[in-house]
Amino acid sequence: MFETLSAFIADYGYLNLFVLSFLASTVLPFGSEALVVALVFQGFSPFSVVMVATTGNFLGSCTTYYLGLKGRRVLEKYLSPSPEKLEKSERLFNKYGVYTLLFTWVPGIGDVITMVAGLMQLSFRSFSVLVFIGKFGRYFAIAYSVVFFSNGL
């Protein structure tokens, strides 16, 4: 069983990572961190893993941002975020401004922050730069922590 899973990861690692990272940045309850760790342990290039995960996660966030641009009705119909999470994200956005987008990687509220950015009609350029930096930072920290700690063992 483990050999089959290892072969599947080796054969489709980057594709799986892209898809899982994309889905993880929507309100679907997925996480991509374990696959990032597994791929780095399997010998995949840490930089490539970081870039694939970042790109997938960023594009998933763009999808959520776009739905936010379409308005609260569309969000409630397709994503059904809790009113509490929307209110919390709006308060954070109002208090800290666009730099809140650096924290879209935080589980639980990150996806809602991207929705709020769309709802608030934030420019896509600002959205893109800040979200990409935040997502990149998270995956970089994960992948290179694996490299650092596996070299020390």
- Residue count of the chain: 153
Output the pLDDT for position 74. Answer: 67
Domain that holds residue 146: 2-152
Output the pLDDT for position 8. Answer: 63
Residue 132 has pLDDT above 70, yes or no: yes
Whose structure tokens read 């954070």?
A: 92
Pair 38, 9: CB distance under 8 Å:
yes
Output the pLDDT for position 53. Answer: 96
DSSP codes, 27-46: TSS---HHHHHHHHHTT--H
d(CA 50, CA 132): 12
- Total domains in the chain come to 1
Output the pLDDT for position 37. Answer: 94
User: Mean pLDDT over residues 87-115, rounded?
Assistant: 82
pTM for this model (two decimals): 0.82
